[in-house]
Amino acid sequence: MNHEGKGLSALGLTMMALGTVVGGSFFLGSAIAIKASGPSVVMAYILGGGIVYFILFALSEMTVADPAPGSFRTFAQEAFGPGVGFVVGWVYWTGLILAMSSEATAVALFFRLWFPRISLPILGSIIIVAVTLLNLLGAKRLSKLESGLAAIKLLAIVGFIVLALGLISGAMPHTSSIGIGALNNEPLMPEGISGFAGSMLIVMFTYAGFEIIGLAASETADPHHIVPKAINYTVCTLVVLYTLSITVLLPLIPTNNLTEDVSPFVAALESNGIGWAADAINIVLVTAILSTMLAATFGLGRMMRSLAEEGCAPSFVKDNTDVPYKGIIFSGVAMLLGLSLSFFLPKKVYLFLLSSGGFSLLFTYLVILATHHVFRRRKGSPAKDHCQLRGFPYTSFIAICALIAIIVSMPLIPGQGSGLVAGLIFIAFYSVCYMISKHSKNK
């Protein structure tokens, strides 16, 4: 298939990945991880970055060998059979749909401050429709828009780091040096190792979305060279910016003062009298969430097309156009249904469904690593000039053990236990769906 987006460059692919990753989960949700693990959260972000690095190189090694449109779903199907490909594709798609429906709700709440007369359901629906329509423009046009939005988010993080360093050193006008500030009275792990372990799901969720590099690889001109470059750019940028911004945030505000309702960056600046910057970050937060939704919908459309081409999705979703219009529209309608759940179902039921998003992604990453293990066993090490997971099989084993440990520790943080249960239910549900589908085809 000659895709319209064949012109995606390493920078364009990187900015699209950063556009997916750096969203509300970091600007807003990181408060939960910081509060749970205290100053040790810096180690959590470095550890999370290392895990992401291993997963991405395992994925890219397979992608460079075969830049299939379905990426990890297609590779899992080749390694373990159509049943696993079916389940991982649908679990990933469902987790992202619920997560993006939640992001739409969050953006609607912000827009409500500016448009108080418009109801939340209407605002959320307008946002989802706009994001869906923009995705219909195609990969090349979308990557240009994503590059601009991602640049705004990255500049905001850099701006925060500069302001925080100014407060810490006393270089800001009319302020005295804070020094280590709130860190004076902060234990390294306020809730012990359980708090640190429990925070890892949130940390991994702030990195979530990097797998779009695999989904978009088939729309690049030269995956062999572009994909490895995009991975290095993406991981290095994320780890440096995440760890630096969290490190300089910690002296500015006690971790006990953080809440999940307010961005920790906004709270830190407001507590030190820089309200104007806090207002600017709130605007950036809206941009960040919209950018995440745009890039995630790009991946959702490609995943749905891959499922449809294998006969694992309704036939009306299948198309042969350059842009997967039907898959994008189908995903947009699903997000609207997810949004309706947040307003019409009891809040606890919706939160129960939504919390499975984190598990869905961890499950997907486990499948990627297991698939790569089979890939190496069958095909050996790729050529030296291609992307390659260094230290295999030890690095692969470390990443698998780390992901299992994060999943097992989910119940240690209130609300995450329900996510584990919901995720397991999704796996069971789609396994049954596959068996029914297979049985009906064999008739």
Question: What pLDDT, in 10s, does the model give residues 101-110?
Answer: 877 877 887 7
Q: What is the dihedral of CA 280, 282, 288, 293, to 10 degrees?
A: -140
* pLDDT of 385 higher than 60: no
The number of domains in the chain is: 1
Higher pLDDT, residue 296 or 399? 399
Confidence band, pLDDT 50/70/90 cuts, at residue 246: very high
Higher pLDDT, residue 92 or 352? 92
Alpha-carbon distance 180 to 159, whole Å? 20
Confidence band, pLDDT 50/70/90 cuts, at residue 51: very high
* pLDDT of 252 higher than 80: yes
Is 284 within the bounds of a domain? Answer: yes
Name all contacts of 333-337 with Cβ < 8 Å and 24+ positions apart: 334/97, 335/97, 335/100, 335/101, 335/104, 335/128, 335/132, 335/297, 336/125, 336/128, 336/129, 337/101
The pLDDT assigned to 4 comes to: 44
- Averaged over 409-424, what is the pLDDT? 79
Question: What pLDDT, in 10s, does the model give residues 176-190?
Answer: 667 777 778 788 888
* pLDDT of 401 higher than 90: yes
Is 5 within the bounds of a domain? Answer: no
* pLDDT of 213 higher than 70: yes
The pLDDT assigned to 354 comes to: 57
Q: What is the DSSP string of 314-344?
A: -GGG---SSS-HHHHHHHHHHHHHHHHHHHH
Quote the Cα angle for 154-16-203, to 5°.
Answer: 60
What is the percent of the chain where pLDDT is above 70? 88
Higher pLDDT, residue 172 or 406? 406
pTM score, whole prediction: 0.82
Which stretch of 157-171, 181-195, 390-404 has the lowest confidence by average pLDDT?
181-195
- Averaged over 81-91, what is the pLDDT? 90
Higher pLDDT, residue 191 or 172? 191
Higher pLDDT, residue 50 or 27? 50
Is 3 within the bounds of a domain? Answer: no
- Averaged over 71-89, what is the pLDDT? 87
Is 214 within the bounds of a domain? Answer: yes
Is 165 within the bounds of a domain? Answer: yes
The pLDDT assigned to 2 comes to: 41
Is 285 within the bounds of a domain? Answer: yes
Is 438 within the bounds of a domain? Answer: yes
Confidence band, pLDDT 50/70/90 cuts, at residue 309: confident
CATH assignment at residue 393: 1.20.1740.10
Which span out of 212-216, 294-298, 430-434 was modeled with the highest average pLDDT?
Answer: 430-434
The pLDDT assigned to 368 comes to: 92
Confidence band, pLDDT 50/70/90 cuts, at residue 367: very high
User: 245's torsion region: left (phi>0), alpha (psi -120 to 50) or beta?
Assistant: alpha
Residue type, 360: S
What is the percent of the chain where pLDDT is above 90? 13
Asked whether 44 and 203 are in contact (CB, 8 A), the reply is: yes
Alpha-carbon distance 317 to 258, whole Å? 44
Asked whether 406 and 200 are in contact (CB, 8 A), the reply is: yes
Look up the domain containing 334 and give its range.
Answer: 10-442
* Strand intervals (E) in 14-143: none
* pLDDT of 46 higher than 90: yes
The pLDDT assigned to 353 comes to: 56
Burial 217-250 (b: 16+ CB within 10 A, else e): bbbbeebbebbbebbbbbbebbbebbbbbbbbbb
Over the chain, what is the mean pLDDT? Answer: 81
Is 137 within the bounds of a domain? Answer: yes
The pLDDT assigned to 109 comes to: 75
Higher pLDDT, residue 144 or 405? 405
Asked whether 16 and 146 are in contact (CB, 8 A), the reply is: yes
**Three-class SS state of 208:** coil
- Averaged over 257-276, what is the pLDDT? 80
CA distances from 437 to 122, 170, 442 (A): 36, 65, 9
* pLDDT of 69 higher than 80: no
DSSP secondary structure code for residue 5 in this structure = T
